[in-house]
DNA sequence: GCCAACGTTGGC
DNA sequence: GCCAACGTTGGC
């Protein structure tokens, strides 16, 4: 028996990488995450086949725009070793990588964006700790329960 | 573009 | 180990 699949939400700024970009390329290494908590979720929590809600942040109408899936086990983020990369980390080495990522695979675009504004109206059901509705939270990768997953997609 | 909230860095 | 300074996130 394979372990039950988990669910996640991952934020991306559409100017940098949008759901349309993911649809075009099919699968993409989720590079550039430089937050330890988000890294830990990818490195320690994600399994191939897990569900991902694709969220657009820092845009006119922030919200959930698509469904994706985890397409690889975690492995070191190559950009941490690249001196020319914006994501270069001088403290990371091949022997001791600091940043890990997974590949994310396109599944589908939602019929419409589920705006953050609407998600907030369900804060009671989602729970105060849900990072999209928790005040001040900036976490860009976090787990979603099966119940939250179902609720959020029911808004589509 | 503003700025509140947050995470990280580094001097001490 | 504290904490001020700094850089980043992301909604608005």
CA of A119 to C1' of C6 (A): 33
**Across residues A13-38, what is the average pLDDT?**
96
Chain B positions with any atom < 7 A from a protein CB: 5-9
Spatial neighbors of A151 by CB under 8 A, at least 6 apart, are: A122, A125, A126
Is strand C within 7 Å of residue A58 (CB)? yes
Is strand C within 7 Å of residue A113 (CB)? no
- d(CA A142, CA A108) in angstroms, rounded, equals 20
Mean pLDDT of chain A: 95
Tell me: pLDDT of A156 over 70: yes
CA of A136 to C1' of C9 (A): 10
Binned at pLDDT 50, 70 and 90, residue A2 comes out as low
CA of A4 to C1' of B3 (A): 42
Is strand C within 7 Å of residue A13 (CB)? yes
Helix (H, G, I), strand (E, B) or coil at A136: coil
- d(CA A33, CA A79) in angstroms, rounded, equals 10
State in Å, rounded, how far the first CA of chain A is from the last one.
31
In tens, the pLDDT along A111-137 reads 999 999 999 999 999 998 999 999 889
Class of A7-154 per CATH? Answer: alpha beta
What does the pLDDT read at residue A4? 83
CA dihedral A125, A131, A135, A136 (to 10 degrees): 180
Q: How far is CA A26 from CA A23, A32, A57, A123, A129, in A?
A: 5, 18, 20, 32, 32
Main-chain phi, psi angles of A28, to 5 degrees: -145, 135
Please give the share of chain A, as a percent, with pLDDT higher than 90: 89
CA of A6 to C1' of C3 (A): 39
Spatial neighbors of A30 by CB under 8 A, at least 6 apart, are: A10, A42, A101, A102, A103, A104, A141
Q: How far is CA A87 from CA A13, A33, A79, in A?
A: 15, 8, 6
Domain positions in chain A: 7-154
Residue at the smallest CA–C1' distance to nucleotide C11: A58
Binned at pLDDT 50, 70 and 90, residue A1 comes out as low
């Amino acid at each position: 028996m394979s372990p039950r699949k988990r669910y996640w939400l991952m934020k991306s700024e559409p100017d940098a990488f949008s759901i349309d970009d993911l649809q075009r390329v099919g699968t993409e290494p989720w590079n550039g995450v430089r937050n330890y908590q988000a890294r830990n979720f990818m490195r320690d929590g994600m399994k191939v086949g897990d569900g991902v809600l694709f969220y657009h942040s820092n845009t006119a109408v922030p919200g959930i725009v698509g469904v994706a899936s985890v397409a690889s086990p975690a492995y070191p983020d190559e950009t941490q070793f690249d001196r020319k990369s914006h994501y270069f980390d001088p403290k990371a080495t091949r022997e001791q990588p600091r940043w890990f990522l997974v590949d994310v695979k396109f599944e589908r675009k939602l019929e419409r964006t589920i705006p953050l504004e609407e998600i907030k109206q369900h804060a009671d059901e989602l729970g105060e700790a849900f990072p999209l509705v928790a005040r001040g939270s900036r976490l860009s990768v976090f787990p979603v329960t099966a119940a939250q997953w179902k609720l959020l997609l029911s808004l589509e």
